[in-house]
Structure 1
Amino acid sequence: MKRLHRVVVATAVLLTACATTTSAKAADPWSTAAADDTVIVDPTPHLTADQISFLREVAARTWRLLSGPGVDPATKLPLASVMLAGDPSTEVELAPATPAQQYTNPTLIGNYLSAIVAAKDLGLTTPEQAQAEAVGVLAEIRKLAKYNGFLFRWYSTTTGQAIQTPQGRPVKNGYVSTVDNGWLAQGMLTAAQAFPALSGDFHALLDAMQWDFLYNKKSNVLYNGYQVGRTYSDATYDNLYSGPRIADYIAIGSGKVPGALWWGLARTPPADHRQRQVPEGMNRTYTDPQDGKPYTIFEGHYSFDRIKFVPTFNGSMYQALAPAMVVPEQTLAPESLGLNNRNSALTQGAYAQFRAKTPVWGWSAATSPTGKQRYTNYGATALAINQGEVPDDVTTPSAAFLALPVIPELAFANIKQFISSFPMVYNQYGMLDGVVARKGDLAPRFMAISQTIILMAIDNAVDHDQLQGYFGASSYSKALFPYLSMERYSIHGLVGPGG
């Protein structure tokens, strides 16, 4: 309760008020946590020694997979997934990779580099061993086929050859995926900072990436990608609050794309655009720090459980929070992106409690535990822009870890609840990928995208956001960071009682 100034309150009234407040907090911790504008910029003090010890154990198990059976020994490239040989258990056997599973992509390579750095930070490997791992990945990236400095979408982990699809034939004309190369670039940038001896080699690869080639000047956004020998994709990345913003960060930071790209991205779609909610908010005008011109944007928001937030397309935690694993959004943008990260995580918890009725929360792309065990999009439906079908039957532990640096206490409780409710989700290699929370079915698979994110999130949670520091110390921060610090989103406070 707030301090009472110059007011004499009867004891009975005070006790009643305290009981009511305590009951409300217990009933709805999500809107209670969103009632003020507090943004956590260092998660580590919010975790106990026992909690940190447990997270380090999870990290050690996760690294056991990523540094061993999760990597193809032929190329040192990460396998996209690793299957179990039997049913989920607290001790599992892994199935050998089939030819159809021996593939990777630029996002996985970039995140694997960041995971190597996280393992070094966490003491799971020595600095010398970590650098040797990074050298192996660096050598392979140099050999992989490229276009304008960019990697293609898929590669065989056994041969390093670009392939048409994850299980496909070699490509003749490859596809350059913008978001995948954004994640690759962040991994190379992180490794360049973490291993100074390799900085020149990684920066040579970074410098070769021609981000202006993927820039749609007319619309002031990045293309989704480019099909070599044909043309650009029809779609563009026009929503700021999504996983592809990592590519926007890299493009601006590289200096090859003007910072004005920042203003071409929508915070929410316009109010007259077809979407799941009609956003509320206001127009704000900002002066661009590079060209000095004024830009007016709509600072809109959705709401759920009285919490205001800028949504992702599919109500996904990865789309919302993954870029914040490497870019210090909490510190640099406490009134915009940082606050929205907190609110997005809180609304996922509220969605589980009040809409999905599940014991755990955390929706992102994940493996379906049933049928053909497809890796597909899952989301918190009411939190999505997308009006189409957004299934919410599968939650993923990796999404719970993404929230650790943002709402550490609530996120840790959720991680423990995953293990308490579904004990066989956790084994000697870490956390399995997907859970049907209403039934208890578990996906018998580890996904590299999830495992690397878990390791990255733990590094930030227990090491004072150390992984974020590498991007902050890089040359890319000079052009980018002024944009992160400028805005004030319309997400402060709660929607009124009648909202």
Structure 2
Amino acid sequence: MHPIDRRTLLTVPLLGAGAFAGTAAGTSAAAAAPPGPAGTGVPPVAPAGLTRPTTGSDRGDDALLRRWAADTWHCLDTMTVRETGLISDAIDADLSGHSGNTSPTNIGGSLWSVLIARELGLITPGHARNRIARTLASLEQMDHHEPSGMFFNWYDERDGSVLRTWPGSGDPVVPFVSSVDMGWLGAALHVVAQADPSNRRRARRLFDAMRWDVFFDREVDAQPGQTIGGFWVEDPGRDGVHLRPLFGGIPGADVWYHSEHHYDTAVSEARMVTYLGIMTGQIPAGAYYTTYRTFPPEWTWPEMPPVGDWTEHEGVAVFEGAHTYRGMEIVPGWGGSMFEELMPDLFVPEAAWGPHSWGRNHPLHVRAQREHGLDEAGYGYWGFSPSSDPHAGYREYGVDALGLNPTGYYSDAAGTDWHQGEPYPQGLDGVVTPHAAALALQHERDSALENLSRIETELGAYGPGGFHDAVAVRSGVIARRHLSLDQSMVLGALGNVLLDEQLHEWFATDEVAARLRPVIEQEVFRAHG
């Protein structure tokens, strides 16, 4: 079997049950993260509970944030093939060993990273313009699903060819179009069209060709519909996969898709696809409300019974539920990871547009991750998200209580099960992911900065390309590699903090705000602490 994009696998629950299901043949992208040497021998972890959020307004730490940004950009720059402008999925910590594959998510991340690097003065405007032009030229020439304007999930970054065999293993790859990955390329092209006048027309032409309704399945119980995980353009030979005309009514565009695989949780990076569909007028506003805030209260099998009430938005019945955790009520994600909660917030000003929904939930999620790492589990550090596994491959990490997944995303290397109400086990080998801590900078700048500083200086999870992808805090084993998506999340978060939410400003045009803000701002989450 062959891997597909890790984010596709990590966020696709089954419609109506929320149970995990992958959307294409294969494993998660453990193979996408090349093996690297394990690091050991770092100093023992500090006692838990050392940090708390602060309210100071001192910005003397900008120099530190800029150093992190410069090193992260150096990594992303090194990962990019000069001839194509396409970026590798992964690279070793010594900035060698390109992975031989890239994805729409990676390409999107490289585009917004070039813009951030330009605004921070790390590259000249001319250099940025040329870099973006080279990437767009490759996209214009790359094979893709022309009826929908969507790109396949895996390409060779050296020449832009569609991968048919997986690098290293030689396993076959059937071309797959991932909705969630296209969401990040689409968001990046929209931003480029606002931020780079010289490349505006080319970026806009690529973006305007994308049909977001091709992912919107109206033939589900949750009306007006939900987003599918994606589709194959060839028969993948998998059980449960059916040939059907493409959603969106495109003539002659028959594809294979799995009728059970939908994104049905609100706290998921897949909501970016919904945002793009609504803002382009291709899917109805009600799609935003067909995903679960929590599972309905009448369901008896979930681990945690929710609190909340039924209401209605855009003609859709919505259970405004939350999970209770450490005195807080928080709308959970599928796995309880930071990127599910905060990655769309890099672009859409969710907290400002939804002050009673995301404006409550984002800081609560950050606080919950911080309290889990410092107080409950006693790791001394915090920030949990899917990442490279320090012990090899790739793995999902999160805070189990913040997730709907019955089997849980766990925060430690052993995957220790825990049930609410029981004392949390101590002495576990917690795995912190710097990109998760970086995303938190936008909501707890001071405590997130201190946490990242200690990950660098005390755990040693830092090198010439910035933060390593993950570190197990008790054993000291470090995932000595970089994933371009995770690095672009780091740089995006640093850019928003240092540049006064510049990504928000680029993304949230007047037209986007007119269509999207009224949908988001009407909701009141059952979230407080």
TM range (shorter): 0.7 to 0.9
Select 1:285's aligned residue among 290, 309, 312: 312
Distance 1:170 1:389 in 2: 29
Offset at 1:249? Answer: 0.8
Distance 2:316 2:133 in 1: 43
Distance 1:208 1:173 in 2: 23
Select 1:357's aligned residue among 371, 378, 392: 378
Distance 2:343 2:214 in 1: 25
Offset at 1:475? Answer: 3.6
Structure 1 vs Structure 2 CA RMSD: 2.1
Select 1:235's aligned residue among 231, 236, 261: 261
> Which runs of structure 2 are paired with 1:199-348 in the superposition (5 Å)?
199-219=200-220, 220-229=225-234, 230=243, 231-233=256-258, 234-273=260-299, 274-286=301-313, 288=314, 294-348=315-369
Greater mean deviation of Cα atoms: 159-168 or 257-266:
159-168
Amino acid in structure 1 at the alignment position of 2:311? R
**Is 1:408 aligned to 2:433, yes or no?**
no
Offset at 1:433? Answer: 0.4
Select 1:134's aligned residue among 132, 135, 159: 132
Do 1:162 and 1:171's aligned partners in 2 also have CA atoms closer than 8 Å?
no
> Which runs of structure 2 are paired with 1:368-447 in the superposition (5 Å)?
368-370=389-391, 373-393=392-412, 394-422=431-459, 424-447=460-483
**Is 1:77 aligned to 2:114, yes or no?**
no
Offset at 1:74? Answer: 3.4
Identity of aligned residues (%): 28
**Partner of residue 525, structure 2:** 489
Distance 1:399 1:47 in 2: 23
Amino acid in structure 1 at the alignment position of 2:229? N
Distance 1:305 1:29 in 2: 15
- Where does structure 2 lack aligned partners over 5 or more consecutive residues? 1-48, 235-242, 244-255, 413-430
- Structure number with higher helix proportion: 1
Offset at 1:71? Answer: 0.9
Distance 1:189 1:457 in 2: 18
Deviations 1:65-101 (A, max 9, x none): 111x2112332111111113xxxxxxxx33333xxx1
Secondary structure of 1:57's counterpart equals helix
Secondary structure of 1:154's counterpart equals coil
Q: Find the structure with the greater CA-based Rg.
A: 1
Offset at 1:169? Answer: 6.1
Secondary structure of 1:302's counterpart equals strand
Secondary structure of 2:372's counterpart equals helix
Distance 1:172 1:52 in 2: 44
Offset at 1:478? Answer: 2.8
Secondary structure of 2:441's counterpart equals coil
Q: How many residues align?
A: 434
Deviations 1:9-37 (A, max 9, x none): xxxxxxxxxxxxxxxxx89947xx9xxxx
Deviations 1:263-291 (A, max 9, x none): 212111212343331110111223x3xxx
Amino acid in structure 2 at the alignment position of 1:55? L
Secondary structure of 2:257's counterpart equals coil
Distance 1:354 1:58 in 2: 27
Structure 1 pair 272–27 and aligned structure 2 pair: CA distance change class (3 A): farther
**Partner of residue 74, structure 2:** 64
Structure 1 pair 474–48 and aligned structure 2 pair: CA distance change class (3 A): same
Offset at 1:170? Answer: 10
Secondary structure of 2:515's counterpart equals helix
Distance 2:136 2:56 in 1: 36
> Which runs of structure 2 are paired with 1:43-192 in the superposition (5 Å)?
48-67=58-77, 69-84=78-93, 93-97=94-98, 101-147=99-145, 148-164=148-164, 166-167=166-167, 174-192=175-193
**Partner of residue 238, structure 2:** none
Structure 1 pair 165–338 and aligned structure 2 pair: CA distance change class (3 A): farther
Do 2:178 and 2:229's aligned partners in 1 also have CA atoms closer than 8 Å?
yes
Distance 1:364 1:173 in 2: 28
Offset at 1:165? Answer: 6.0
Secondary structure of 2:333's counterpart equals coil
Greater mean deviation of Cα atoms: 272-281 or 257-266:
272-281
Offset at 1:296? Answer: 2.4
Structure 1 pair 173–381 and aligned structure 2 pair: CA distance change class (3 A): closer
Secondary structure of 1:82's counterpart equals strand
> Which runs of structure 2 are paired with 1:28-43 in the superposition (5 Å)?
29=52
Do 1:162 and 1:170's aligned partners in 2 also have CA atoms closer than 8 Å?
no
Distance 2:215 2:170 in 1: 26
Structure 1 pair 361–57 and aligned structure 2 pair: CA distance change class (3 A): same
Do 2:51 and 2:447's aligned partners in 1 also have CA atoms closer than 8 Å?
no
Structure 1 pair 390–173 and aligned structure 2 pair: CA distance change class (3 A): closer
**Partner of residue 17, structure 1:** none
Distance 1:353 1:83 in 2: 29
Distance 2:56 2:188 in 1: 27
Do 2:75 and 2:95's aligned partners in 1 also have CA atoms closer than 8 Å?
no
Secondary structure of 1:385's counterpart equals coil
**Partner of residue 11, structure 2:** none
Deviations 1:95-143 (A, max 9, x none): 333xxx1110011111111111111121111222111111111111111
Offset at 1:153? Answer: 0.9
Secondary structure of 1:299's counterpart equals strand
